[in-house]
């Protein structure tokens, strides 16, 4: 049997329709209508559907400012990415963060949030002009000023990479599993005949760098081999550090793992300068994102940045919804390339 005809309520004027108009047309209280339209309160399904139909007929559109006041939420989350030094940012960090941001954006939009990228400089005007409910901080360091400012502002926080300060130990985070990922790359080199491994690492003392260095040291200790770690100094080019690593003829590494593609490309360039063939004289693995587009001829340890970004956004929204998300460790995969293919 057909139900009662749906009432038609046409506004008499061109003024904007408010929640009071919907309540008047429905013959219900403003509180009941507000709960129905916002998915809150104990409103039965039939009443909720009827209120929404009346609101649609009237042309009601929620007032964004009123929604913020009502819920205390802006519906916006931020992402702050550091390490924007010229060489590394242009050739490695920007592509990595682009994939991470894409993953975070898709997840946020799927869950009815907008995502904005803000500078990793808390004094920036964007921090005051763009209201945010929460923030994803990428690669936090000890004493991180971005985390400190976000805590001061009362923002919900999730980090890509383990926070290093004890007082931030309760912040949920997503991280690549370097304890397994780095040995995966080193085992790959060893299986192709490498016996003197090196590690080319950077100046950023974040958990990704520190965990990678620890995993390398542990791998060398377990096999009773001497490791060789070359750290790029602040402001130094990756090629200068690669030259130091490959300078000695005696004891020179015949295989190197680089912490990102910028460093891997520097090793390729310096090997060519020194007349070393790759992979004949030197084999190279590098951590990165084997996504679409032109890639250097490197064997890559896939850090899965798109998945990490999506997980970060998901954890942040779970936190905003009152859940207590736990840290997530993302496994790495090895994608063989020409730099280790004999």
| Phi, psi for 184 (deg, rounded to 5) | -60, -45
Q: Give the pLDDT mean for 319-330.
A: 93
Which among 136, 94, 104 has a CA at the least distance from the CA of 118? 136
- 2 half-sphere exposure, CB direction, 13 A CA radius: 3
- List the alpha helices (DSSP H) in the chain: 19-26, 30-38, 45-58, 64-71, 86-88, 94-110, 126-129, 145-153, 178-191, 207-223, 238-247, 261-273, 305-320
Q: How far apart are CA 150 and CA 295, in angstroms?
A: 36
Higher pLDDT, 28 or 332: 332
What is the structure's pLDDT at 2? 47
Which among 216, 265, 214 has a CA at the least distance from the CA of 241? 265
User: At which residue do the structure tokens 């004891």 appear?
Assistant: 251
Q: What percent of the chain has pLDDT over 90?
A: 57
In sequence order, what are the residues at sequence separation of 6 or more whose Cβ sits closer than 8 angstroms to the Cβ of residue 121? none
Burial of 11 (0-12, 13-18, 19+ CB in 10 A): middle
Q: Are 146 and 137 in contact (CB under 8 A)?
A: yes
What is the structure's pLDDT at 15? 60
Query: What is the largest distance, in Å, between two alpha-carbon atoms of the chain?
Result: 91
pLDDT band for 29, please (50, 70, 90 cuts): confident
What is the structure's pLDDT at 62? 67
What is the structure's pLDDT at 303? 95
pLDDT at 341 over 70: yes
Q: Are 104 and 313 in contact (CB under 8 A)?
A: yes
pLDDT band for 12, please (50, 70, 90 cuts): very low
Higher pLDDT, 2 or 33: 33
pLDDT at 71 over 90: no
Q: How far apart are CA 276 and CA 299, in angstroms?
A: 17
Q: How far apart are CA 232 and CA 87, in angstroms?
A: 12
Give the lowest-confidence range in 86-90, 159-163, 193-197, 231-235: 86-90
| Phi, psi for 193 (deg, rounded to 5) | 95, 0
What is the structure's pLDDT at 252? 92
Q: In 109-170, at which residue ranges do the beta strands (DSSP E only) sit?
A: 114-119, 134-138, 156-160
pLDDT at 131 over 90: no
pLDDT at 84 over 60: no
Residue 258 parent element (H or E): strand 255-258
pLDDT tens-digit readout, 40-67 = 667 888 888 898 899 888 887 766 545 5
What is the structure's pLDDT at 13? 45
What is the structure's pLDDT at 342? 67
Q: Give the pLDDT mean for 149-173.
A: 93
Higher pLDDT, 183 or 292: 183
Instruction: Name the token pair of 293.
Output: 């587009």
Q: Give the pLDDT mean for 318-334.
A: 94
Higher pLDDT, 280 or 83: 280
What is the structure's pLDDT at 31? 80
What is the structure's pLDDT at 85? 47
CA angle 131, 135, 153 (to 5 degrees): 60
Which among 49, 55, 64 has a CA at the least distance from the CA of 11? 55
pLDDT tens-digit readout, 241-256 = 999 999 976 789 999 9
- List the alpha helices (DSSP H) in 59-144: 64-71, 86-88, 94-110, 126-129
What is the structure's pLDDT at 96? 79
Angle at which helix 178-191 crosses helix 207-223, to 10 degrees, equals 50
What is the structure's pLDDT at 258? 97
- Average pLDDT in the chain: 86
Please tell me which of 12-26, 44-58, 205-219 the model is most confident about, judged by mean pLDDT. 205-219
Q: How far apart are CA 114 and CA 194, in angstroms?
A: 47
């Amino acid at each position: 049997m057909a139900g009662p005809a749906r009432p038609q309520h046409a506004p008499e004027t061109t003024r904007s329709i408010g929640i009071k108009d919907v309540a008047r047309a429905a013959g219900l209280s403003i509180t009941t209508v507000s709960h129905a339209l916002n998915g809150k309160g104990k409103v039965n399904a039939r009443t909720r559907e009827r209120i929404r139909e009346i609101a649609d007929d009237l042309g009601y559109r929620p007032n964004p400012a009123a929604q913020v006041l009502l819920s205390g939420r802006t519906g916006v989350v931020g992402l702050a990415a550091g390490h924007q030094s010229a060489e590394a940012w242009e050739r490695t960090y920007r592509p990595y963060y682009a994939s991470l941001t894409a993953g975070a954006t898709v997840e946020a939009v799927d869950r009815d949030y907008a995502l904005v990228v803000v500078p990793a400089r808390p004094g920036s005007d964007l921090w005051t002009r763009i209201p945010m409910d929460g923030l994803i901080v990428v690669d936090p360091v000890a004493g991180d000023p971005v985390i400190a400012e976000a805590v001061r502002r009362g923002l919900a926080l999730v980090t890509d990479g383990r926070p290093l300060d004890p007082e931030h130990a309760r912040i949920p985070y997503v991280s690549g599993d370097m304890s397994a990922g780095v040995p995966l790359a080193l085992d790959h080199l060893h299986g192709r005949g490498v016996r003197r491994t090196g590690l080319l690492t950077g100046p950023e003392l974040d958990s990704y760098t520190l965990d990678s260095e620890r995993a390398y040291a542990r791998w060398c200790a377990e096999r009773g081999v001497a490791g060789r770690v070359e750290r790029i100094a602040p402001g130094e080019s990756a090629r200068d550090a690669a030259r130091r690593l490959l300078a000695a003829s005696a004891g020179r590494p015949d295989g190197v793992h680089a912490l990102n593609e910028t460093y891997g490309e520097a090793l390729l360039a310096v090997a060519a300068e020194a007349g070393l063939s790759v992979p004949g004289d030197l084999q190279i693995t590098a951590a990165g994102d084997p996504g679409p587009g032109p890639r250097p001829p490197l064997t890559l340890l896939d850090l899965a940045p798109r998945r990490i970004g999506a997980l970060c956004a998901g954890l942040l929204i779970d936190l905003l919804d009152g859940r207590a998300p736990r840290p997530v460790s993302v496994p790495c995969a090895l994608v063989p390339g020409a730099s280790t293919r004999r």
